[in-house]
Structure 1
Amino acid sequence: MQHNFKPGLLPLKAEKDLRTLVENRSVYTMQHCELNVYETRQQSEKVRLVFDDMVLTTMLRGKKIMHLFGSEQFDYLPGESVIVPDHEEMVIDFPEANQENPTQCIALAVQADILQDTLNLLNEKYPKVEKDDSWKIDLSCFHLQNTLEIKTTIDRLLSISTENNAAKDVLVDFTLKELLIRLMQTQARKLILDSYHKNTSTNRFAFVVEYIKSHIHEDITIDKLSNLCYMSKPNFFRCFKREFDISPVDFIIQERIKAAKKLLKDMNVTISQACYSVGINNLSYFFKLFKRVEGITPNEFRKSLN
């Protein structure tokens, strides 16, 4: 059965209808999803929008202020995504949109059946490490910073959706499932990072995260981490990567650079001191890792603080 994916626009009194604000709305309808690409060129407030299905929205350009769940309000910027449940009203401000600086975003409406198929696949074939945990879209973690993998998958989905290809629906379904999996992995990582200290006795990866953070200045080996989890080294590596979409080695590197950035904000701390304080014993290697993670050197990071 085909779903009607057209977004429901609530009647506005003195507020402007979204259709009068969007210079260009491109719509690509596939078997299990609909992709809307919006470009807004007029400043406005309290524009209301509702979809009949769960929606993944992603900012491409400009700025919005989002109002969700009655009380949540936050700036919505490029490189971020927001997951909105079905029939949930979005109230959107466009504080900077104009002809020269349009706000661009996408809204991907996803049918419930392909989401459920993806959840069933993960929970049956690739269950989480903790038996009382399961794969799900967690709406308590609805505002996400896109990872490189999420951005790449969204870009690929956009590309496939605009193709004239007889197998487009099949390709979209595969890519959509990949995107849903990467979103759930990103959510799982964010939820662990935000509340690891509360769950160290019930979640072994939360315990590992706490260990890494409290021993960031030391040599941290995968052997040590796998022993803490009572798992073999290959199984630990595989399960960590599967649940969080990042290897434990790369996670440790990111945590070291995160700790280094905090130290570098203190101008009395030298770059060398920051390097050695986060467990990296080679300054040139520290520069290489910092540039890989942050896209800039430690020196450039310091200059950006002024």
Structure 2
Amino acid sequence: MQRNYKTKLLPLKHEKDLLTLVENRSVYTMQHCELNVFETHKQSEKVKLVFDDMVLTSMLRGKKVMHLFGTETFDYLPGESVIVPEHEEMVIDFPDANGENPTQCIALALQSDILQDTMHLLNEKYPKTEKADSWKIDLSCFHLQNTYEIASTVDRLLSISTENISAKDVLVDFTLKELLIRLMQTQARQLILDSYHKHTNTNRFAYVVEFIKAHIHEEITIDKLSGLCCMSKPNFFRCFKREFGISPVDFVIHERIKAAKKLLKDINITISQASYAVGINNLSYFFKLFKRVEGITPNEFRKNLVANY
């Protein structure tokens, strides 16, 4: 839905400090997690890695090719994260790694108790809108583009973990819980976006997503969306943002920009036409929203398409 956000880069090890050129590992151990920073400075393939706990990995530099679950193979790039269950073997290729272009990745191994505590807190205090649903890490949605919220939380976690500060474990635990919540919200949003048509009869937010996509060229109000859910406007707004980590207003904006991007790939469609086609009738406002969501203007988006063609 959004562009992916890259986390801040960590300093690379000096060559003389590397113990190995392939997945050189630096470890920072806290009470409920272990932060591993891996660097690879040499092209290599079929490097195997296993953790005893569930791991959140995030790419900082370079490119990996990941092989997971026996059947999943994909490029792994900066601005992305991958969730790997405990005892699952990762097989990793480094097709482009060298001294001038190393890869760098973090792997955050999480003890099960902090994950269970966070899920229990959410399910007890902030249950999902649909009674049959519950908060959980869903491994069917294991490869994620970082949202701004995930990237900024990872940045704070890296800063706390790698600095010599007092009360480090307490600060890390608070940040870990926030990160887990952000991950679950992002997964919930992505799962609905990927398969909303399958759940319109059982999930009211899936029904809302279907309506937004079908009426993206029209005015869409919170009154209308809350009515579709048979909820008051304040309750709808609160529940939607709690479950997906984004307000319904911002969700509609992101869907409009996503639809506009598809139209802009057609060189026969003008920027004005794309703007009007997704329900934004003020061109300067369209430029403002596009820049806010994508980080670039519609003109720059088109130039990048031509450059990459």
> TM over 0.5: same fold?
yes
Match of 2:285 in 1: 285
Distance in 1 (alpha carbons) for counterparts of 2:23 and 2:272: 52
Match of 1:97 in 2: 97
Match of 2:234 in 1: 234
Match of 1:212 in 2: 212
Give the structure-1-normalised TM-score. 0.93
- TM-superposition CA deviations, 1:25-78 (whole Å, max 9, x none): 221100000000111101100000000000000000000000000110000000
Q: What is the one-letter code of the residue matched to 1:272?
A: S
Q: What is the one-letter code of the residue matched to 1:196?
A: Y
Distance 1:180 1:23, change over 3 A: closer
Aligned length: 289
| CA RMSD after TM alignment | 1.2
Q: Pick 1 or 2: higher relative contact order, CA cutoff 8 A, min separation 6.
A: 2
**Could you tell me whether the CA contact under 8 Å between 2:22 and 2:44 is conserved in 1?**
no
User: Helix, strand or coil for the counterpart of 1:51?
Assistant: coil
Distance in 1 (alpha carbons) for counterparts of 2:34 and 2:120: 22
**Could you tell me whether the CA contact under 8 Å between 2:28 and 2:36 is conserved in 1?**
yes
Q: What is the one-letter code of the residue matched to 2:174?
A: F
Distance in 1 (alpha carbons) for counterparts of 2:299 and 2:167: 49
Distance in 2 (alpha carbons) for counterparts of 1:88 and 1:182: 23
Distance in 2 (alpha carbons) for counterparts of 1:248 and 1:300: 27
**Could you tell me whether the CA contact under 8 Å between 2:59 and 2:78 is conserved in 1?**
yes
Once the 2 structures are TM-superposed, how far is the Cα of residue 163 of structure 1 from its aligned partner?
Answer: 2.1
Match of 2:60 in 1: 60
Q: Identity of aligned pairs, percent? A: 85
Match of 2:38 in 1: 38
Q: Higher mean Cα deviation, 161-170 or 236-245?
A: 161-170
Once the 2 structures are TM-superposed, how far is the Cα of residue 303 of structure 1 from its aligned partner?
Answer: 1.3
Equivalent residue runs for 1:131-146 within 5 Å: 131-146=131-146
Once the 2 structures are TM-superposed, how far is the Cα of residue 280 of structure 1 from its aligned partner?
Answer: 0.5
Distance in 2 (alpha carbons) for counterparts of 1:61 and 1:272: 37
Distance in 1 (alpha carbons) for counterparts of 2:199 and 2:73: 28
User: Helix, strand or coil for the counterpart of 1:180?
Assistant: helix
Distance 1:262 1:129, change over 3 A: same
Distance in 2 (alpha carbons) for counterparts of 1:62 and 1:117: 34
Once the 2 structures are TM-superposed, how far is the Cα of residue 292 of structure 1 from its aligned partner?
Answer: 0.8
Match of 2:273 in 1: 273
Once the 2 structures are TM-superposed, how far is the Cα of residue 24 of structure 1 from its aligned partner?
Answer: 4.3
User: Helix, strand or coil for the counterpart of 1:140?
Assistant: helix
**Could you tell me whether the CA contact under 8 Å between 2:22 and 2:41 is conserved in 1?**
yes
**Could you tell me whether the CA contact under 8 Å between 2:34 and 2:108 is conserved in 1?**
yes
Does 2:180 correspond to 1:180? yes
Once the 2 structures are TM-superposed, how far is the Cα of residue 294 of structure 1 from its aligned partner?
Answer: 0.8
User: Helix, strand or coil for the counterpart of 2:202?
Assistant: coil
Q: What is the one-letter code of the residue matched to 2:176?
A: L
Once the 2 structures are TM-superposed, how far is the Cα of residue 135 of structure 1 from its aligned partner?
Answer: 0.3
Q: What is the one-letter code of the residue matched to 1:271?
A: I
Match of 1:117 in 2: 117
Distance in 1 (alpha carbons) for counterparts of 2:102 and 2:181: 31
Distance in 2 (alpha carbons) for counterparts of 1:301 and 1:234: 36
User: Helix, strand or coil for the counterpart of 1:52?
Assistant: coil
Once the 2 structures are TM-superposed, how far is the Cα of residue 100 of structure 1 from its aligned partner?
Answer: 0.7
- Give the ranges of 4+ consecutive aligned residues of structure 1 lying more than 6 Å apart after TM superposition: none
Give the structure-2-normalised TM-score. 0.92
Q: Which runs of 5+ in 1 are unaligned?
A: 1-18
Once the 2 structures are TM-superposed, how far is the Cα of residue 267 of structure 1 from its aligned partner?
Answer: 1.1
Distance in 2 (alpha carbons) for counterparts of 1:227 and 1:35: 45
Match of 1:3 in 2: none
Match of 2:164 in 1: 164
Match of 1:16 in 2: none
Distance in 2 (alpha carbons) for counterparts of 1:250 and 1:215: 16
Once the 2 structures are TM-superposed, how far is the Cα of residue 23 of structure 1 from its aligned partner?
Answer: 6.9
Once the 2 structures are TM-superposed, how far is the Cα of residue 266 of structure 1 from its aligned partner?
Answer: 1.0
Once the 2 structures are TM-superposed, how far is the Cα of residue 166 of structure 1 from its aligned partner?
Answer: 2.7
Q: Which runs of 5+ in 2 are unaligned?
A: 1-18
Match of 2:13 in 1: none
Match of 1:199 in 2: 199
Once the 2 structures are TM-superposed, how far is the Cα of residue 21 of structure 1 from its aligned partner?
Answer: 3.1
Does 2:253 correspond to 1:253? yes
**Could you tell me whether the CA contact under 8 Å between 2:149 and 2:182 is conserved in 1?**
yes
